[in-house]
Amino acid sequence: MTSATADERLNDVGLVRRLLIRPELGAVVGAIVVFAFFAGQSPVFRSADGIANWLDPAATLGIMAVAVALLMIGGEFDLSAGVLTGTSGLVLVTLATRYGFNVWLAMAAGLVVALAIGLLNGLMVTRTRLPSFIVTLGTFLMLQGLNLGVTKALTGTVQVSGLARAPGYEGARAVFGGTIMVGGTGFRVAILWWLLVTAVATWVLMRSRAGNWIFAVGGNDVAARAVGVPAGRTKIALFMTTAFAAWLVGSIAALRYTSVQANIGIGQEFIYIIAAVIGGCLLTGGYGSAIGASIGAVIFGMADKGIVFLNWNADWFKFFLGAMLVLATLANRLVRRYAEEVKH
């Protein structure tokens, strides 16, 4: 009889624990707080139109944040991810408009280039054992120069445009850059890609052997190798995943705006990391979630657009944005700490 009551108590705590120890829980609470804050003050923010507005930046940011989160759980950074979105877009638009490639073929070429850069990042990090922060910082600068240099050499200006006239554009745009009407409001197709990427990444992390490997190499690289985890290959695959996401986001932007500027994506790499961290990733690796990163992107999107909806003076915009992010991250931390107390 006494043992039965003990079991009951254990079961009870187990249920609460299962919910609380999820890394994304803090982000969910943060997202609800941020949503309530803006929705309470701006009717447009909570209208269907408004939601479509702030889901738009959240979607492309979310795709990147999920890939970057996987990489961070695996214990590495990729600072070249932002500029790589520009590189992929530039390859796509340049091949399609200057060399008469079909848009689909140009996209495939962009994917090959992006994956090659991801592979290069991965190889450099795993072979040289240099910190990925430095290696990808180098890639970041090189790509930035390459984007501008090649664009200027080929076009004489700083942007390539005219993608709308390339063969295969309409179809590719519908799939990657179009809008879907839901009850009279246009939502971006990118939102579906974002949900798909989040779902796949979550499945890989939680349900596949590769997911275990990712947590293992990020948690303790040496121990992971000792028990036979292919650490090098796992990390290279993670860099290539980030590159794939950058290609997807770069292509979505290129197809939507039909032109790409040579300086696009610079500075975005930190936003990806911020979104992943808001979503519960640790900067030290080994802990985090894909859904969390997605919610981090939603928080960022809501703050980014919500501030505009509230008509706060643009001069102060970055201040408020920074403050929102710190608050969201703090809320996240508090919840996680509480969760850890419950856990023990």
Partner 1 sequence: MKRTLIAIALAGALAGCSGGGGAAGESASPPAAGSSAAQPATAEKYAVITHGAVGDSFWDVVKNGAEAAGKQYGVTVTYQGDGDPGKQSQLIDQAVSEKVDGVVVSMANPDALKEAIGKAVAAKIPVVTINSGADSAKAFGAITHVGQSEEVAGRGAGEQLKAAGVTKLLCVIHEAGNVGLDQRCKGAEATLGGTVERLQVDVSNLADVTSKVTAKLQSDKAVNGVLALNPAVAVAARDSIKDSGSAAKLATFDLSGDVVGAIKAGEILFAVDQQQYLQGWLPITFLHLYKTNLNTVGGGLPVNTGPGFVTKDNAEQVAKLAESGTR
> What is the binding site for partner 1 (CB under 8 A)?
19, 22, 24-25, 28, 31-32, 35, 39, 43-44, 46-53, 56-57, 148, 156-159, 161-162, 164, 202, 206, 253, 256-259, 261-264, 291, 295, 298, 305, 308-309, 311, 314-315, 317-318
Taking the complex as a whole, how short is the minimal distance between the CB of residue 65 and partner 1, in angstroms? 15
**Quick one: residue 183, left, alpha or beta (phi over 0 = left, psi -120 to 50 = alpha)?**
left
Q: Which is nearer to partner 1, 3 or 311 (CB)?
A: 311
For 255, residues 6+ apart whose C-beta sits below 8 A from its C-beta are 92, 103, 163, 169, 172, 173, 176, 177
Taking the complex as a whole, how short is the minimal distance between the CB of residue 263 and partner 1, in angstroms? 4
DSSP state of 164: G
Q: Which is nearer to partner 1, 277 or 295 (CB)?
A: 295
Amino acid identity, position 89: G
For 186, residues 6+ apart whose C-beta sits below 8 A from its C-beta are 52, 179, 180
Q: Which is nearer to partner 1, 26 or 122 (CB)?
A: 26
Count of residues making up the chain: 344
Q: Which is nearer to partner 1, 53 or 126 (CB)?
A: 53
Taking the complex as a whole, how short is the minimal distance between the CB of residue 272 and partner 1, in angstroms? 15
Taking the complex as a whole, how short is the minimal distance between the CB of residue 107 and partner 1, in angstroms? 18
Taking the complex as a whole, how short is the minimal distance between the CB of residue 211 and partner 1, in angstroms? 13
Taking the complex as a whole, how short is the minimal distance between the CB of residue 122 and partner 1, in angstroms? 28
Q: Which is nearer to partner 1, 240 or 299 (CB)?
A: 299
- Rounded Cα gap, residues 268 and 38, in angstroms: 24
For 106, residues 6+ apart whose C-beta sits below 8 A from its C-beta are 91, 92, 93, 95, 96, 166
Q: In sequence order, what DSSP letters do the residues of 209-257 get, joined into one string?
A: HHHHHHHHHHH-HHHHHHTT--HHHHHHHHHHHHHHHHHHHHHHHHHHH
Taking the complex as a whole, how short is the minimal distance between the CB of residue 112 and partner 1, in angstroms? 24
Q: Which is nearer to partner 1, 57 or 74 (CB)?
A: 57
Q: Is the CB of residue 300 less than 8 Å from the CB of residue 325?
A: yes
- Rounded Cα gap, residues 124 and 174, in angstroms: 37
Tokens of 252: 């979505």
Amino acid identity, position 176: F
Q: Which is nearer to partner 1, 184 or 228 (CB)?
A: 184
Q: Which is nearer to partner 1, 35 or 77 (CB)?
A: 35
DSSP state of 43: H
For 34, residues 6+ apart whose C-beta sits below 8 A from its C-beta are 299, 302, 303, 306, 324, 328
Taking the complex as a whole, how short is the minimal distance between the CB of residue 128 and partner 1, in angstroms? 29
- Rounded Cα gap, residues 72 and 228, in angstroms: 21
Q: Which is nearer to partner 1, 25 or 117 (CB)?
A: 25
Taking the complex as a whole, how short is the minimal distance between the CB of residue 119 and partner 1, in angstroms? 27
